[in-house]
Amino acid sequence: MSDRLRGKMPEKGWKELPIRGLIIEPGNSVNYETGSWRALRPIINLEKCPHCMFCWLFCPDGSIIVKNSQVTGVDLRYCKGCGICAVECPRQVITMVEEAEVAKETNVW
Amino acid sequence: MVVEAKTRINLREISNKEDKLAPGHRLCLGCAEGIVVRQVLHAIDYPVVVCSPTGCLEICTGLFPYTAWRVPWVHSAFENAASTIAGVEAAYRALKRRGKIEDRVIKFVVFAGDGATYDIGLQWLSGALERGHTFLYICLNNEAYMNTGIQRSSATLKWTWTTTTPVGKVIPGKKESRKDMTAIIAAHNIPYVAQAAPHAWRDLMTKVRKAIAVDGPSFINILCPCVRGWRYNSKDTIAISKLAADTCVWPLYEVDHGIWRLNYKPSPQRPLTDWFLSQGRFSHLVAPDNANLVIELQQCIDQEWAKLEKLCQCFAD
């Protein structure tokens, strides 16, 4: 399995893991980047964005980046590409683009 | 006494707060549970302790050695989430009384699935409610045992396809009616009981604020559309949630200190066929041979809705 699928956290043996199934680092799932699941990529037209926060509110993964009450983009490390943001956007400024198309344009696979 | 929500919810304001559920959890794409948990935790301004019994949310957010929770979180067995949170709450009160722990307001929340609430954990939940511990119990109702592979639960609607109620030539899906869990909990005479859905986010978050403001147990039953189990496209989660309220399959109401109040009245009420057409788990009901089943279900839903409307009218001014 590639490192990309396994996540960033180095593997630990049973001697290094905390006992009794405790996880002592809160929110360490950020080391597991679920963005590799994505087939469709949301692209926000920020010029037309009304910053109503509906995309942020209805994102199951919390991957809409918000700074000072303004939407600034999508966190592609975690976005799974469900497309709820594109449907729920009242001004339809979010479009879902095939990852393969993006890869063709940018030449990054 | 009727509880009033603390303040009006401003999305732009709360969007600057850090999520208490971190990204990187492994819920399916388009899963409503992630949306609901984020909405609920953003509505609570106090420190929280969360308990989850076995279920979709627990396996996806607590996959060892990862956790998506930025708040203290306990995993308990399938049946005893209510007892676990009751124990945590009682321990906190006892330690506070003896001066062994800092005295501050902490909220105790359970996120359980419908299997853990309707079927397996009902006795434990009933006990904890009767003992009067101060905690909020949230049922993430996706109408079947989704994490083990879409098996029917007692929250599943009649004549629904699931893997344990397959559709065949003789029997068209689940033969039994669903149970009205919210009414069962309301019959415990606890301070606050409500039914909510994620599309009505202001309603949902206001209900959470009301629920945590009361002294005693509170319960909110929240509909969580499931992409895999309900067989629909992941982008439609919120639209399906709205459709459930518009077809009266999932009425939004609250029972605030014994007073029943309807929060949303669809106008016009959409026919149940719209609900069946939207999801693959009902594809057999769309067939002309099963038209009598649709009529039967429509009568059931209409009857439940009429009952609820009458009940709420009794308490209207």
With tokens 């098996």, the residue in question is B151
Q: What residue in B sits closest to A13 (Cα-Cα)?
A: B65
Strand partners, B137: B110, B219
* Mean pLDDT in residue range B196-207: 96
Chain A: nearest CA to B316, how far in angstroms?
Answer: 33
- Cβ-based neighbour number of residue A26 at 10 Å: 15
Report chain B's mean pLDDT, rounded to a whole number.
94
Q: Where are the domains of chain B?
A: 11-315
CATH fold of the domain at A3-106 = Alpha-Beta Plaits (3.30.70)
Best of B234, B241, B243 to substitute, by most chain A Cβ atoms within 10 angstroms, is B234
Q: What residue in B sits closest to A59 (Cα-Cα)?
A: B35
Predicted pLDDT at A108:
66
CATH architecture of B11-315: 3-Layer(aba) Sandwich (3.40)
Predicted pLDDT at B279:
96
* Mean pLDDT in residue range B69-93: 95
What share of chain A in percent tops pLDDT 70? 89
B1: pLDDT strictly greater than 50: no
Question: Residue B6 — very low, low, confident or very high, per pLDDT cuts 50/70/90?
Answer: low
Best of A61, A78, A88 to substitute, by most chain B Cβ atoms within 10 angstroms, is A61
Each residue's pLDDT tens digit, B171-183: 999 999 999 999 9
Question: Residues 6 or more apart from A38 whose CB is under 8 A from it?
Answer: A76, A79, A80, A81, A99, B29
* Chain A residues close to B25, C-beta within 8 Å: 29, 34, 61
Q: How far apart are the C-alpha atoms of B24 and A82, rounded to whole Å? A: 14
* Chain A residues close to B224, C-beta within 8 Å: none
With tokens 């009767």, the residue in question is B130
Task: Report ipTM for this prediction.
Answer: 0.91
A36: pLDDT strictly greater than 80: yes
* Mean pLDDT in residue range B113-119: 95
Q: Where are the domains of chain A?
A: 3-106
- Cβ-based neighbour number of residue B244 at 10 Å: 20
Q: What residue in B sits closest to A88 (Cα-Cα)?
A: B238
Quote the DSSP letter at residue B17.
S
Each residue's pLDDT tens digit, B191-201: 999 999 999 99
Question: Residue B116 — very low, low, confident or very high, per pLDDT cuts 50/70/90?
Answer: very high
Between B6 and B237, where is the model more confident?
A: B237
Chain A: nearest CA to B266, how far in angstroms?
Answer: 20
Each residue's pLDDT tens digit, A60-103: 999 999 999 999 999 999 999 999 999 999 999 999 999 988 88
C-alpha distance from residue A58 to each of A52, A61, A75, B209, B290 (Å): 12, 9, 15, 19, 35
On whether any CB of chain A is under 8 Å from the CB of B26, the answer is yes
- Cβ-based neighbour number of residue A87 at 10 Å: 19
Predicted pLDDT at B3:
53
Q: What residue in A sits closest to B31 (Cα-Cα)?
A: A60
B70: pLDDT strictly greater than 90: yes
Chain B: nearest CA to A31, how far in angstroms?
Answer: 7
Inter-chain CB pairs, A–B, below 8 Å: 131
Chain A: nearest CA to B62, how far in angstroms?
Answer: 9
Q: How far apart are the C-alpha atoms of B194 and B182, rounded to whole Å? A: 7
The beta-carbon neighbor of A69 closest among B15, B24, B62 is B15
Put simply, the chain A residues between 53 and 72 with a CB less than 8 A from any chain B CB are: 53-54, 56-63, 66, 68-69
Q: What residue in A sits closest to B234 (Cα-Cα)?
A: A82
Each residue's pLDDT tens digit, B239-248: 999 999 999 9
